[in-house]
Structure 1
Amino acid sequence: MIKSMTGYGQSICQFDEYRINIELKTVNNRYLDTNIKVYKQYQFLEEIVRDIIAKKVSRGKLDVSIQFENVKKDDRVVTINEEVARGYYTAMKQMAEIFGIEDDISVSKLSSFQDVFTVEKKEQDKERISNDVVSVLNEALDNLTLSRKSEGERLVKFFEEEIVIMSDIVDKIEKRSPVTVEEYRNKIKEKVEEYLDGVQFDESRLLTEVLIFSDKINITEEIIRFRSHLEELKKLLMSDVPVGRKLDFIIQELNRETNTMGSKCNDFEISKNVVELKSEIEKIREQAQNIE
């Protein structure tokens, strides 16, 4: 079943240190255009995310939002500079002995000296973060696919209805085509008889003229090709692989055959049917822009 390029998918998952919320929104586009919105400290994820998306989505403008929520703020590591602290402690003991004062050294006093502690930002565990994001992204992509398939089902129904309408119009054109030849024959005969006013004439010449006209306006091949394109269109609608570009080509061919039919047949009824046919083709062309 075909998929629409319009869809939405989301996945939220809670982990030990954060909650990841990924949203995917797609609209139609000729090629795959992925726009990723993520906090600066997580930009290392972009290449991974693009690679995964490219394997599951072939066309469309895709907006990706990756949010890390409820992040624990214990992202700093504090360590004791033992050698520095020991130096301060020894100096304070010596000071007490030299000046004969009470030795009241405490941890709080010792920790107030410069460089006793070193505060460093905890290094990101990029591998763990990447694995967490990949798992959430895959679920969001699955939900996006369901959304696009659902919209695709609606498009299939629309195309099936249009195929029936176009087939009916082509049937009318096919039935009308021989009638135009007969009408032309009668019209020519009436004019000749009126001009000759009862004088006998060679009807074989008239037949030759009618045959030339008939060959000139013959649209049998165009009708056969048009119906063949409709059958191919039906097959594409049931395909599980991206068919958007093939669909564009078939619609171009349908339009080409319709234009040829219109240019060959100098008949009001057929011209009216051709206009109707072109209108229906334009409808499916517009909807085809949204198919992957």
Structure 2
Amino acid sequence: MNSMTGFGRAQLDSRLGRFTVEISGVNNRFLELSIRLPKPLSALEPQIREQLAAKLDRGKVTLYVNFAEPDNGSNRAHINKNLARSYHRQLQQLGKELKLAGDLSVSDLLAIPDIVVPERADLDLKLVGTALSKTIASALKPFLAMRAKEGQFMAADMQKSLKVLSSKVKKVEKKTSKAVEVYAKKLRTRIEELLDGPAPNAGRLEEEITVFAERTDVNEECIRFQSHIEQYATTLKSKGAVGRRLNFILQEMNREANTIGSKSGDFDISSQAIALKEEVEKLREMVQNAE
């Protein structure tokens, strides 16, 4: 089992330039990819999404790419005069409308993004895409390793919770068998106190005890609950994305705990049912970060 939280970073120096890739991930119901690329590499986004989707199933994953061309590249640049004129005209108009003092300088205009445009040699996107894919693959290794390691810790904590659940279900089973005896004893004692002697209709009394036993019997719920625990433990050992399946099993556990609590006429069993739901909730919180 893997966590959805992780981080990975990789850098590649090549004749094309320096590629730096950072990948981070947090929990999310589905796979949500956020790709941040320099403008010259924007056409490579579909390729990157495909590469990430092949390795990931769930999580909100952000990938950041920085690309620095080699120093022997072109150092020439030109000024986008049309854009500069447009900014100048609009800023002057804004100054008049707001009655602001001061004049715009060339330095002010040059500080605006995209006014100065560096001249680059045309990039070979095929070669760049190959180099970038290699860098992403390198960044994915520590990212996936971190997710796997955290997943192991989560699985260990979940195993502890499963043992607690199993123990509580066994207590419910023991309490259930005794609850009928306690009820029968209390009922006989109460009738004898009211009638000042044994009940005249013993058959009716036994029938009432039988009805109580059937109404409060939770053996089937306990058996199903133990089965869910076993399914959960088996799923934890599975490879790949298991978060959705684990969440479904927890829903079934919670349903059984609710039934146990509603059918029980015994305070101790009701308390155990509440404890079962609390432990299931702990598991549910952990599962939110399981891939």
Q: Give the alignment's TM-score, normalised by structure 2.
A: 0.82
Residues 17 and 72 of structure 1 are in contact (CA less than 8 Å); yes or no, is this contact kept in structure 2?
A: no
Deviations 1:51-94 (A, max 9, x none): 000010010000101111353352489xxxxxxxxxxxxxxxxx
Give the equivalent residue in structure 1 for 2:13.
Answer: 14
Q: CA RMSD in A?
A: 1.5
Instruction: Please state if 1:261 is matched with 2:253.
Output: no
Residues 191 and 199 of structure 2 are in contact (CA less than 8 Å); yes or no, is this contact kept in structure 1?
A: no
The structural deviation recorded for 1:44 is 1.0
Larger radius of gyration: 1
The structural deviation recorded for 1:200 is 5.3
Residues 188 and 199 of structure 2 are in contact (CA less than 8 Å); yes or no, is this contact kept in structure 1?
A: no
The structural deviation recorded for 1:42 is 1.0
Deviations 1:182-216 (A, max 9, x none): 11101111111112212651212111110000000
Give the equivalent residue in structure 2 for 1:209.
Answer: 208
Q: Which moved more, 1:249-258 or 1:34-43?
A: 34-43
- Give the SS at the match of 1:284: helix
Mind listing any 5+ residue stretches in structure 1 that lack a counterpart? Answer: 78-119
AA at the equivalent of 2:228? H
Instruction: Please state if 1:28 is matched with 2:9.
Output: no
Give the equivalent residue in structure 1 for 2:79.
Answer: none
Residues 248 and 285 of structure 1 are in contact (CA less than 8 Å); yes or no, is this contact kept in structure 2?
A: yes
- Give the SS at the match of 1:56: coil
How many residues align structurally? 249
Distance in 2 separating the partners of 1:219 and 1:73: 78
Give the equivalent residue in structure 2 for 1:270.
Answer: 269
Distance in 1 separating the partners of 2:151 and 2:186: 51
Distance in 2 separating the partners of 1:282 and 1:240: 24
AA at the equivalent of 1:5? M
Distance in 2 separating the partners of 1:71 and 1:49: 23
Give the equivalent residue in structure 2 for 1:177.
Answer: 176
Distance in 1 separating the partners of 2:149 and 2:199: 71
Give the equivalent residue in structure 2 for 1:219.
Answer: 218
Give the equivalent residue in structure 1 for 2:42.
Answer: 43
Residues 15 and 70 of structure 2 are in contact (CA less than 8 Å); yes or no, is this contact kept in structure 1?
A: no
Distance in 2 separating the partners of 1:27 and 1:200: 67
Q: Give the alignment's TM-score, normalised by structure 1.
A: 0.82
Cα 1:125–1:150 change in 2 (3 A) is: same
